[in-house]
A and B are shown apart, each in its own frame.
Chain A
Amino acid sequence: MTLSWKERLDGAIAPDLAREIDIFETDLGLKKLGRLDDRLFAEERLRRGVYGQRYDNGRRHDGIRTRAIDYPQRGLTKGVDTLWDAPGMVRIKIPLGRLSADQLDVLAEVAEEHATGILHVTTRQDVQLHFVHIEDTPTLMRRLGAVGITTQEACGNVVRNVTACARAGTCGGEALDVTPYAEATARFLLGHEDAQDFGRKMKIAFSGCRGEACGLVRFHDLGCLAVTRTTPEGDVEHGFEVYVGGGLGAVPRQAQLLEPFVEVNELLPLTQAICRVFARLGEKKNRTRARLKFLVERLGLQRFAELVHAERARLPPDVRWRLDPEHLPSSDDVPLRAPSALTEPLSGPVARFASSNVRPQRQEGYVAVTVRLPLGDLTSDQARGLAALCRRFTGDTVRASVEQNLVVRWLPAADLPAFYEGLVALSLHAAGAGTLADVTACPGTDTCKLGISASRGLAAELERRIEAMLDRLDPVARSLRIKMSGCFNSCGQHHVADIGFLGVNRNVGRRRVPHFQLVVGGAWRNNGGTYGMRVAAYPARRIPELLERLISVWLEEREPDEPFATFILRAGRARLKAELQPFTEVPAYEDDPSFYTDWGDAREYTIGDKGVGECAGELVTSTQFGLAAAERILFEGQLAMDRGEPWAAADAAYAAMLRAARTLVKIKDQDVGTGADEVVEAFRVHLHETGVFHDRYAGGKFARYLLATHASPPDGADAPQARRHIEEATLFVEAAQACFVKLQDTPAQEIEA
């Protein structure tokens, strides 16, 4: 008999992660039985990276009319207006973009088995799979978990993937290798209780230097820029400049400097304090104003800093804060082979490839190779092939980059020709990484519910055209960056491109026409240090010729050595708009219907397929999650009873009461521990003796169930005892739900009284 993946991988997954996946699988079952709230489940799955995709409301415009997709399990949903059977996207967190060969192999396998056989690298160093059925996700998570990858907190209102320069540790310009610090931050905040009650997501980035773009700290909620300072004793001390409140989207903001120097051991407590302030004071109702940037703006940087420092002073100490060398996570990113220099100069295709895709490392004799992925896509075969190449030449040294490429580090320079031949065999040898031809694009209307225009379709078309003329292009034009987003949420990071495009639409006659707003002059360098200027919207079909004209104007009119961004400022919006005016024209439908379709999509264009996004997640508090967890533990106890394991049922009943009690106590005492004695004592003081927990009719009866069970915990209970424990726990958890409602409805001062 074939074992399930759960059975086969038993013991191969870290226990906490294995338990996490089991919980999600249980919740999938509960949701199918209708025993889990729609909104709660939606946020539960989002927090595990299980995301909606276009048409998951079961409606799709086929180019002629909107029609229903006839999914088998009609009526069953996996979140608000999201059908159970609709395939979705799974976002897989790759902290810092670090990937081992084994991880690449398993990603390739799950992409092949559960998705389309394509791995998509995002601008935040995640990997996304599309068209995945929700019932396949626990298996997918276990497969990934067995090689140390989690999807936990890849979406939802939590700390998202922590990103960092793909060249960290090998780059000549960095103040410090940020790898272990970013890694420690990612681990520390994953599932951290202080990072569960946000009104929106929080994005964190690390950069090793000020001038380059790889880390992009200036447009993150929290950005950590490595710096050094010299102590009065003359020692060089490492630390971080910490920035807060950056973000792109419809209201882009540059992050502001919160701290000019944070010593390494202070990084995690400061981050924790920021999380607490954001959770406590961040907007919760108006989702469009709920990111950290709005809180910083509302309070002012100085007040925000005061609150963070006050919070920091209150934090109970945590041994995990120590980040001096002996406490840092170890780095597996070590070279496989000894360094070696090239014995003769490169020539031919490999030389062309090296000129754009290869950079020497600061460690002599090694180079870092950028594997350019078209639109961030990699096939399963390519991923497997690349893993094999890495095993042969470099070891586990791959990192996904924020430009949707993969960087293979620690290649001995002398091995470059052989490595290149390996890439040729995999069709991964495209030159032009980091050039005009290397276009960044979010998923847009291909798969995203919020997409307005086909950013990937346009990006593919531009890449194709630019590729064909890249060698003929003026070298200064070759170095420009193009980035595009399918909507104002800006996942394609168009604000910081030399030439950015933002998907919009316009009415022409009685029809909709896909357009892109042109945004020019943004700075990719300096950590995404300047946002571009909006010019106007142009029909999608005209963008390729517009691009050509825009570059020509710059090349013709630039002062000697004048950078593109400087030219844009000098030329100004009005001049550019006038120059590009001819590209605004849309012919009548009868004359050219192609304008009424989008790139890479043959259907007549419509925005009727646009759905409700899940980027903002569902607003579910940690109290709601905690009470749901208590119910799940109780459900597991009932299942144990059914299996004839009364001792396990009684233990689960007690655990459910403790979980519910602690969840409520945390409203009054954020720092309550997890030990049973501490929880029950805090429950007695805050909720029992105050009468807050008491039922209108039963008084303190349900509270006493917990106190009595704690005084005499179940120990090998028989069936009648277990039944009593389950019944009492059921009533206790019900009372906890009622108490939560009461606490929400009662003014704060009344509760205090």
Chain B
Amino acid sequence: MNVQQVRIWLEAPRPVGPSLDLEPFLPLFHRWIQDDRISALVPIDVVDYRHLRDRPRVLLIAHHGHLCVERLGDGRVRLSFARKRDAIGDATERIAEALREVARAALRLGEVQALSQRLPFSRDRLGVAVHSRLVADRSAGSVAALSEAAATVVRSATGAPPARVVLDDAERAPLSLILELQAALDLDALALDGSPELVHG
């Protein structure tokens, strides 16, 4: 499968207390830009979509892709990276690269004391979606191809294939899979894996 516009996400479970306020992500993302923490992505801006009633979110917009932190309806927080342009390599390399970016972002968030307790991202579950309907049309063939590529990445990252792969069956939504893992992701290892600098296609 010629994976284009791949998105990977991790989720933090619903917090015990009040829902997480997304406001602190605005200065935080700006600081990442100021401190050159994500310069390889060619960051452009931070966009505030906290006013949305459907998954309020804050986006860090970059040339190669967007980082997004959003609050789901049940209070869970989702952190995602969506590759928009210039991806290189085969399907597994592209998925692996997006996973690396989201792992790096999760670790950076973990460095923020106020967030580290509130954002324990689940390491035994991840989501993968391919936004391009051209290459991923929700047919059985596309589902199988994406499942296989994603499983290869998971096996490489954790040493075991996913325990379960669940297809998001929302009509007309991009092809999306939830992968429940047998072994937990090692975000530190993932963040270090591969090229430290994202390669321009």
Residues of A within 8 A of B (CB): 2-5, 8, 54-55, 60, 62-64, 69-72, 85-87, 105, 108-109, 112-114, 116, 118, 130-131, 133, 374-375, 377, 379, 381-382, 384, 388, 426-428, 430, 446-447, 456-457, 460, 463-464, 600-603
Question: Which residue from chain B places its CB closest to the CB of A457 in the assembled complex?
Answer: B48
Question: Which residue from chain B places its CB closest to the CB of A5 in the assembled complex?
Answer: B134
What mask results when residues 40 to 57 of chain B are scored 1 for a CB within 8 Å of chain A, else 0?
001111111111111100
Q: Do A377 and B172 touch across chains, with their CB atoms under 8 A apart? A: no
Contact partner, B44, options A112, A131, A375, A384, Cβ 8 Å: A131
Query: What is the bound-complex CA distance between A377 and B5, given in angstroms?
Result: 22
8 pairs of A and B residues whose beta carbons are closest in the complex: A602-B27, A427-B53, A460-B51, A427-B54, A600-B48, A602-B26, A374-B51, A113-B131
Given contacts A69-B44, A381-B54, A464-B51, 5 further A-B contacts (CB under 8 A): A2-B135, A8-B134, A62-B34, A131-B61, A602-B46
Q: Known contacts A60-B45, A601-B26; decide if A460 and B50 are in contact (CB<8 Å).
A: yes
Query: What is the bound-complex CA distance between A133 and B53, given in angstroms?
Result: 27
Q: Do B44 and A55 touch across chains, with their CB atoms under 8 A apart? A: yes
A442 to chain B, nearest CB (A): 15
Query: What is the bound-complex CA distance between A2 and B174, given in angstroms?
Result: 17
Query: What is the bound-complex CA distance between A600 and B59, given in angstroms?
Result: 12
What mask results when residues 124 to 155 of chain B are scored 1 for a CB within 8 Å of chain A, else 0?
00000001111100000000000000000000
B-side interface residues, number (CB < 8 Å): 41
Question: Which residue from chain A places its CB closest to the CB of B2 in the assembled complex?
Answer: A2
Q: Known contacts A113-B132, A381-B54, A601-B26; decide if A63 and B171 are in contact (CB<8 Å).
A: no
Q: Do A116 and B47 touch across chains, with their CB atoms under 8 A apart? A: yes
In the complex, which residues of chain B have a beta carbon less than 8 angstroms from the beta carbon of A113? 5, 131-133, 174
Q: Known contacts A112-B174, A113-B131; decide if A72 and B44 are in contact (CB<8 Å).
A: no
Contact partner, B51, options A62, A69, A70, A463, Cβ 8 Å: A463
What mask results when residues 114 to 131 of chain B are scored 1 for a CB within 8 Å of chain A, else 0?
000000000000000001
Q: Do B133 and A116 touch across chains, with their CB atoms under 8 A apart? A: no
Contact partner, A446, options B47, B52, B174, Cβ 8 Å: B47
Q: Do A600 and B26 touch across chains, with their CB atoms under 8 A apart? A: yes
Q: Do B30 and A374 touch across chains, with their CB atoms under 8 A apart? A: no
**29 chain-A/chain-B pairs, Cβ below 8 angstroms:** A3-B134, A54-B45, A62-B33, A63-B34, A64-B34, A69-B63, A71-B42, A71-B63, A72-B63, A85-B63, A112-B131, A114-B84, A116-B61, A118-B52, A130-B47, A131-B66, A133-B84, A133-B85, A374-B51, A374-B53, A375-B51, A379-B54, A381-B173, A426-B54, A427-B53, A456-B48, A463-B51, A600-B26, A602-B27
B39 within 8 A of A: yes
In the complex, which residues of chain B have a beta carbon less than 8 angstroms from the beta carbon of A428? 53-54
Q: Do A63 and B44 touch across chains, with their CB atoms under 8 A apart? A: no
Query: What is the bound-complex CA distance between A690 and B31, given in angstroms?
Result: 68
B144 to chain A, nearest CB (A): 16
B159 within 8 A of A: no
In the complex, which residues of chain B have a beta carbon less than 8 angstroms from the beta carbon of A8? 134
A369 to chain B, nearest CB (A): 16
A112 to chain B, nearest CB (A): 5
In the complex, which residues of chain A have a beta carbon less than 8 angstroms from the beta carbon of B42? 69-72
B169 within 8 A of A: no
In the complex, which residues of chain B have a beta carbon less than 8 angstroms from the beta carbon of A108? 172
Contact partner, B173, options A85, A375, A384, A464, Cβ 8 Å: A384
Q: Do A379 and B26 touch across chains, with their CB atoms under 8 A apart? A: no
Q: Do B53 and A72 touch across chains, with their CB atoms under 8 A apart? A: no
B8 to chain A, nearest CB (A): 15
Give the one of A112, A130, A375 with max B CB within 10 A. Answer: A112
Question: Which residue from chain A places its CB closest to the CB of B66 in the assembled complex?
Answer: A116
In the complex, which residues of chain A have a beta carbon less than 8 angstroms from the beta carbon of B89? none
Query: What is the bound-complex CA distance between A102 and B84, given in angstroms?
Result: 24
In the complex, which residues of chain B have a beta carbon less than 8 angstroms from the beta carbon of A63? 30, 34
Interface of B is mostly: loop
Query: What is the bound-complex CA distance between A118 and B50, given in angstroms?
Result: 12
User: B46-86: which have CB < 8 Å to A?
Assistant: 46-55, 59, 61, 63, 66, 73, 84-86
B97 to chain A, nearest CB (A): 16
A688 to chain B, nearest CB (A): 50
User: B149-201: which have CB < 8 Å to A?
Assistant: 170-174, 200
Q: Do A602 and B45 touch across chains, with their CB atoms under 8 A apart? A: no
In the complex, which residues of chain B have a beta carbon less than 8 angstroms from the beta carbon of A118? 49, 52
Q: Do A427 and B73 touch across chains, with their CB atoms under 8 A apart? A: yes
Q: Do B47 and A105 touch across chains, with their CB atoms under 8 A apart? A: no
Question: Which residue from chain B places its CB closest to the CB of A463 in the assembled complex?
Answer: B51
Contact partner, B172, options A109, A379, A457, A463, Cβ 8 Å: A109
B90 to chain A, nearest CB (A): 14
Question: Which residue from chain B places its CB closest to the CB of A429 in the assembled complex?
Answer: B53
Q: Do A430 and B30 touch across chains, with their CB atoms under 8 A apart? A: no
Q: Known contacts A8-B134, A69-B42, A384-B172; decide if A602 and B30 are in contact (CB<8 Å).
A: yes
In the complex, which residues of chain A have a beta carbon less than 8 angstroms from the beta carbon of B73? 427
In the complex, which residues of chain A have a beta carbon less than 8 angstroms from the beta carbon of B85? 133
Query: What is the bound-complex CA distance between A324 and B127, given in angstroms?
Result: 56
In the complex, which residues of chain B have a beta carbon less than 8 angstroms from the beta carbon of A69? 42-44, 63
In the complex, which residues of chain B have a beta carbon less than 8 angstroms from the beta carbon of A374? 51-53
Q: Known contacts A71-B63, A113-B5, A113-B131; decide if A55 and B39 are in contact (CB<8 Å).
A: no
B21 to chain A, nearest CB (A): 12
Q: Do B49 and A377 touch across chains, with their CB atoms under 8 A apart? A: yes
In the complex, which residues of chain A have a beta carbon less than 8 angstroms from the beta carbon of B46? 601-602
In the complex, which residues of chain B have a beta carbon less than 8 angstroms from the beta carbon of A130? 47
